[in-house]
Amino acid sequence: MSAPPPTTPEERQIVKAAGQIGFYTLLSRITGLFRDIAIGAVFGAGFVTDTFFTAFRIPNMLRRVVGEGASAAALVPVITEYRERRTQNETIAMIRSLLGIGMLLLFVLSAAGVIWATPIASFLVPGFSPEKLTLTAHQLRIMFPCLFFIGLSAIAMGVLHAYLHFAAPAFAPIFLNISMISATLFVGWFSPAEVRAPILILAGAVVIGGLAQLLWHVPVLQHLNVLVTPEWNPRHPAIRQIGRLLVPVLFSSLLYQVSLIVKNLLASLLSEGSVSALWYATRVFDFPQGIFVLALSSAALPSLAAQTQRGDLVGVRDSLGFAMRLINFVVLPAAVGLTVLSLPICVVLFFHGAFTEEAVRDTAQALRWMVLGLWSVAAARLLTSCLYALQDTRTPLVAAVLAFVTSIFFGVMFMGHIVAAENSGRVVQFFAALSDWITIRNLEAGGLALSASLAATVNVLLLGAILLRRLDGFPWVPWLHSLAWSILGAVVMIGPVWWIQQQIDWFDRSVPYLLRVGVLLSAIVAGIVSFTLVAWWGGKTEFAALLKMLPDRLLRRVPQFLKASN
C-alpha cells in the first residue's frame, strides 16, 4: 500500500513552497541554459571560456559558502526560533545585528579578492599559461565585488524563507542570467572576430546581475516590515548562536567548494577545454537538481525547523520520509533520462557557433559520469537540511571532510596520468606523483565527474546513518515501496527513449535544428509517459503531491511575482 497522502500542515506547506520555489527556479534554469548556450556559441569551449569559468567559480564559491550556506544552515533555524518564541521587535533587532556584521564580512572578502586576484589565480590553475593566468586574474578582479551584493541577497533569502516567502528569492537569479546573456549577445554582435578582451564585458555583467538580485528583494522585505538598517552589535545573543551553527557549515561548504577548485586545477592539467567541458556538464546536471531538489530542500527546512522547535521529532521523521519519496519519483527517472540523452541534450544546447563536435562529446561524457551521483546529491541535500533544522551542523562537516578526501582520491584515480613540467609548483608535482601510484583509468574530465558521483554516495551514506540514529527510526516501508516502483519505471523508460534518439545523426549539420529539438522533446515525452504508466500504480500519493506543486503557479499567478511572495 502506498503511504498516506500529504495531509499534515507541514507536508502541505512543503508541497506548496516547493512548487513555488520550483516554478521560479525553472524560469531561472531556463534562462541559465540560454546564458550557457549564448556563451558557448560566442566564446566556444577553449582558451577564453576556461579563464572565465575559472574566474567565475571563485566569487561563486564564496557566495555559496558565505551566503547560501549560511542562510540554509544558520539563519533559517535561528530566525524561525525567534519568530516562534520572541516578539517582532526582538526579531527585527536580531536581523539588524545580523545585517551589520554580514555587510562588514562581505566587504572584507570582496576587497581581499580584488587585491589578491593575481596570486589567487596562480594558485587555483597552475596549469594555465602566463597569458591565460593574466586574463583569469583580470576577470577575478572585476567579478569579486559581486560577492558583496549576492551575499546580502543570500541574507535576504534567509530572512524571507524564515517568514515562509519563497518566490522572490527563487526568481532573483534570473537577473544575473539576463545580465550575462545581454553582455554575451553584445559581444557576439559587435565583436565576433576577437573575443579575448570582450570576455571582460561578460565579467562586468556578473557584477551588474548581482546588484540587480539584491535590489529585487527590497520591495518584499519592505512589505514584510523587515527592511532594516544595519546595526553593529556583535554581542547580540543570536549572533553568537548563528556563529556556533555557522562555523561548522562554513567549513563543510568550504570543503565542497575547495574540492571543485581542486578538480578545476586538475582539469587545467588536461587537454584544453576540459575546464569548460566540466562547467557545461555541471550546468546541465544542475538543471533538474536546481528545479526540484533545491526547491524541495529549501521548502522543507522552515517546516522541519518549526517542528523541531515544537519538539515534534515524529513529525520531522514523517516529513523527511515524505520528501525522500518525492525525490525517488523525480530524481531517478531524471537520472536515467540524462544518461540516455546526454549527447542529444549537449548537441541541442551547445553545438552552435564556436562550440565544436569534440567539445560536445567531452561535455556529454562528463555529464554521463556526473549523473551517476544525481540521486545521492539530491538525498544528501535533503538530509543536510534536516540536520540543519535540528541545529546540527557538525555532522555535515564530518561528512564533508570524508567526501572531500574521497572526491580528490577518485579524481586522480580516474582522470589519467598527470605529467608535471619541470617548473611546475609543488601542488602539481604532488598530484603527478599521486597519479603514478593510483591511476587506473584515463577518463580525463569524465574521471573528475565520476569522482564527484562517488563522493556524493559516500556523503549520503554517512549522513543517512547518523540522522536515522538522531530521529530514532525512519518510515522505511513506504519509502522502499516508492523506490521499487521508481526504479521499475525508470528501467522501462530506457527502451523508447533510446530508440527515438537513435533516429537521427546528431552531428549532421544538414539536419535542421528544429528537427533535433523535436526528436529530443519526443524522447523526453516518451520517457515521461513510460515512467508514469509504470510508476503511477505504486506512487499515486507522490504523483498527487507533485501535481499540487503546479497549478497555483501555472494557472493563476504566473506574472504576479511580488504578490506571490505575500
- Residue whose grid cell is 593566468: 133
DSSP three-state, residue 442: strand
The 8-class DSSP code of residue 3 comes to P
Whole-number average pLDDT of the chain: 82
CA distances from 420 to 126, 218, 423, 430 (A): 11, 51, 8, 9
Q: How many domains does the chain have?
A: 1
DSSP three-state, residue 166: coil
pLDDT band at 561 (very low <50, low <70, confident <90, very high): very low
Residue at 1 is within a domain: no
The predicted model gives 23-44 an average pLDDT of 81
Over 60: is that where the pLDDT of 69 sits?
no
DSSP three-state, residue 5: coil
pLDDT in tens, 415-436: 888 776 666 667 777 888 888 8
Residue at 261 is within a domain: yes
The more confident residue out of 307 and 145 is 145
Determine the pLDDT at residue 505. 92
Determine the pLDDT at residue 554. 39
Residue at 123 is within a domain: yes
Nearest to 24 by CA among 162, 152, 165: 165
Instruction: Region of 449 please: left (phi>0), alpha (psi -120 to 50) or beta.
Output: alpha
For the ranges 404-418, 497-511, 534-548, the one whose mean pLDDT is highest = 497-511
DSSP per-residue letters across 282-323: HHHHHHHIIIIIHHHHHHHHHHHHHHHHTT-HHHHHHHHHHH
Residue at 273 is within a domain: yes
Cβ 166 vs Cβ 154: under 8 Å? no
Over 50: is that where the pLDDT of 448 sits?
yes
pLDDT in tens, 351-389: 887 788 898 999 999 999 999 999 999 899 889 888 888
Phi and psi, residue 442, nearest 5°: -115, 75
The more confident residue out of 20 and 155 is 155
Cβ 411 vs Cβ 260: under 8 Å? no
The more confident residue out of 343 and 270 is 343
Residue at 565 is within a domain: no
Determine the pLDDT at residue 559. 39
Cβ 249 vs Cβ 255: under 8 Å? no
Return all residues near 84 (Cβ < 8 A) that are at least 6 apart: 306, 309, 310
DSSP three-state, residue 236: coil
Residue at 353 is within a domain: yes
Residue at 3 is within a domain: no
Cell of residue 265, nine digits: 586545477
Nearest to 17 by CA among 213, 303, 224: 303
The predicted model gives 222-243 an average pLDDT of 85
Residue at 4 is within a domain: no
Amino acid found at 107: F
Q: Which of 61-65, 91-95, 222-226, 384-388 has the lowest mean pLDDT?
A: 61-65
The 8-class DSSP code of residue 465 comes to H
pLDDT band at 553 (very low <50, low <70, confident <90, very high): very low
Segments forming the whole domain that contains residue 131: 9-559
The predicted model gives 12-32 an average pLDDT of 73
The more confident residue out of 419 and 183 is 183
Cβ 236 vs Cβ 92: under 8 Å? no
Report d(CA 555, CA 195) in Å as an integer.
43
Nearest to 175 by CA among 312, 40, 24, 391: 24
- Is this structure's pTM higher than 0.85? no
Report d(CA 319, CA 376) in Å as an integer.
19
Please tell me the total number of residues recorded for the chain in this structure.
Answer: 566
pLDDT band at 254 (very low <50, low <70, confident <90, very high): confident
DSSP three-state, residue 548: coil
DSSP per-residue letters across 141-157: HHHTTHHHHHHHHHHHH
Cβ 485 vs Cβ 532: under 8 Å? no
pLDDT band at 563 (very low <50, low <70, confident <90, very high): very low
Q: Which of 316-320, 321-325, 555-559 has the lowest mean pLDDT?
A: 555-559
The 8-class DSSP code of residue 502 comes to T
